[in-house]
Amino acid sequence: MEQYDAIVIGAGQAGVPLSKKLAQAGKKTLIIEKRYVGGTCVNDGCTPTKTWVASAKAAYDASKSSELGVNIKGYKVDMRQVKKRKDEIVLKSRNGGQKAIEDTKNLTLIFGEAAFTGKKTLLIELNEGGTLEVTADLIFINTGAKTLIPEIEGLKDIKYLTSTTILDLDYVPEHLLVVGANYIGMEFGQMFGRFGSKITMLEKAPRILAHEDEDISEAMHQILTDENIEIFTNATTLSFIETKKGNIKAKVSVAGKEQTIKCSHVLIGVGRIPQTEALALEKTGVKVDEKGFIKVNDKLETNVKGIYALGDVKGGPAFTHISYNDYTIVYRNLIVGENLNTKKRPVPYCMFTDPQLGRIGISEDEAKKQKLKVKVVKLPMAHVARALEVGDTRGFMKAVVDPVTKKILGAAILGTEGGEIMTVLQMAMEGGITYDRIRYCVFAHPTYSESLNNLFLSLDN
């Protein structure tokens, strides 16, 4: 059995930088990865999907260019080129991450799947064949999550797509049925609609984006339907069957009424589950919740001293930036000697539909549930000078504020560059800058963020 000072399981957005920092701090470190360096973000998530979002945006802009006085005739989507560009960008990022690991002193990279055999011991099934036993006093689990495959009659008998396998397509599906109108489903649905697919989306909840305020949900619903995307809410998928011609029939219940939807492809996007099954955590005593997510304290340590969990595998907000922040907390606590925790960290996020939805802090609905005395301000993008000039006035800016302290408690920006505008407000929240100061702040004209002046204008009354 080979002894290490630290073992990192999973080369994701927390695992890679953490392993490098541990090695640079003088610890003999091993990082184990069963597939590709970079985790979901680089290989199946942020990097590939956002390259495709950019291609879809180019197609959309071409279709709308006549509104700006520019006539583009006969444009077409070359899906093979779209995929080729995506693959090149992913490979460059993946290879860069792997080389950085391999160039780090005291750090060993092994490709294989790890499972606990004891409290601090692991058996690795090597990808190249054979096994290896290893042990360390410090173990960090960064194995991430994977697509939840629901129990639907006939699903296993059809060639369904997931958010991972859909990235292998080098053609445009004729009719894509998206099961789950959540953030992932909406990004892919809008994207492939712009590539040329007919899109139908099924959402089990009464409305899409059920975790967002109702006005955001309604606006996003309208944005998608304006792009000829068909959305069914209160929809349950009952069964699938493949026809003799290779198409798929989906039997669904919409508001209690059964109907059949014919499509060429099905994308499953109803959620994700942690990749903990293969770890044999019962051998080490690490506790998980009812869904299999690893339980951690606010310093990201499990109930077993010296074993930590970072990123999606521990549950909570499943965002790359949260995973990366997990790494910084663990590293600074263990190596630098700081005393950091996850209790009050901000959780910003951005849904990369077009327009984007950028969110930070509490929503209007959350404020109501907490019975907070707040004021809510809202500015349609149609009243934003930059949006008018660019020719895209979809969406709105919205903020929740404390009228007494004048602090910004939360914001939602549904609009072009919504994530960037949200980040300006996040910086204000981080720095304790109150809305009245933003109201009279001098911003460059004409920028989107300049209209934050006008967003808070009504609070003068």
Domain range summary for the chain, segments of one domain joined by +: 2-146+273-336, 155-270, 355-460
Per CATH, the architecture of 355-460 is what?
Answer: 2-Layer Sandwich (3.30)
What are the C-alpha distances in Å from 182 to residues 178, 263, 351, 419?
10, 20, 10, 18
The answer to whether 2-146+273-336 and 155-270 have equal CATH topology is yes
The residues pairing with 112 across neighbouring beta strands, listed in sequence order, are: 126
Helix, strand or coil, per DSSP, at residue 256? coil
139: its two tokens:
């173990």
Nearest one of 358, 405, 383 to 458, comparing CA atoms: 383
- Confidence class of residue 241 from pLDDT cuts 50, 70 and 90? very high
Q: What is the CA radius of gyration of the chain?
A: 24
CB crowding 179-207: b at 16 or more within 10 Å, else e: bbbbbbbbbbbbbbbbbebbbbbbbbeeb
Instruction: Please report the pLDDT score of residue 292 as a whole number.
Output: 96
Binned at pLDDT 50, 70 and 90, residue 73 comes out as confident
Q: Which helix (H) or strand (E) holds 115?
A: strand 107-116
In tens, the pLDDT along 368-425 reads 999 999 999 999 999 999 999 999 999 999 999 999 999 999 999 999 999 999 999 9
The CA-based angle 161-32-39, given to 5 degrees, is: 35
Nearest CA to 297 out of 314, 313, 320, 277 is that of 314
Q: How confident is the model at residue 278 (pLDDT cuts 50, 70, 90)?
A: very high
CA-closest candidate to residue 188, choices 53, 61, 371: 53
- DSSP codes joined into one string, 329-377: HHHIIIII-----STT----EEE-SSSEEEEEE--HHHHHHTT---EEE
Average predicted confidence (pLDDT) for the chain: 96
Contact 438/453 with Cβ under 8 angstroms?
A: yes
Q: Are 422 and 360 in contact (CB under 8 A)?
A: yes
Residue 246 pLDDT grade (very low, low, confident, very high; cuts 50, 70, 90): confident
Percent with pLDDT over 90 in the chain: 97
Residue 208 has pLDDT above 90, yes or no: yes
Which superfamily is assigned to 155-270 in CATH? FAD/NAD(P)-binding domain (3.50.50.60)
Going by C-alpha positions, the residue among 44, 15, 45, 13 that lies closest to residue 32 is: 15
Q: Report the distance separating Cα 327 and Cα 310, nearest Å.
A: 7
Distance CA 415, CA 196 (A): 23
- Distance of CA 185 to CAs 14, 23, 268, 269, Å? 25, 39, 8, 6
Q: What angle do CA 273, 278, 282 make, to 5 degrees?
A: 100
Residues 6+ away with beta carbon under 8 Å from 206: 233, 234
pTM of the model: 0.94
- Residue count of the chain: 461
Decide if domain 2-146+273-336 falls under CATH 3.50.50.60.
yes
Cα torsion through 412, 415, 416, 419, rounded to 10: 10
- Catalytic hit among 175, 321, 383, 445: 445
Q: How confident is the model at residue 245 (pLDDT cuts 50, 70, 90)?
A: confident
CB-side neighbour CA atoms (13 Å) of 258? 5
Q: Note if 445 is an active site residue.
A: yes
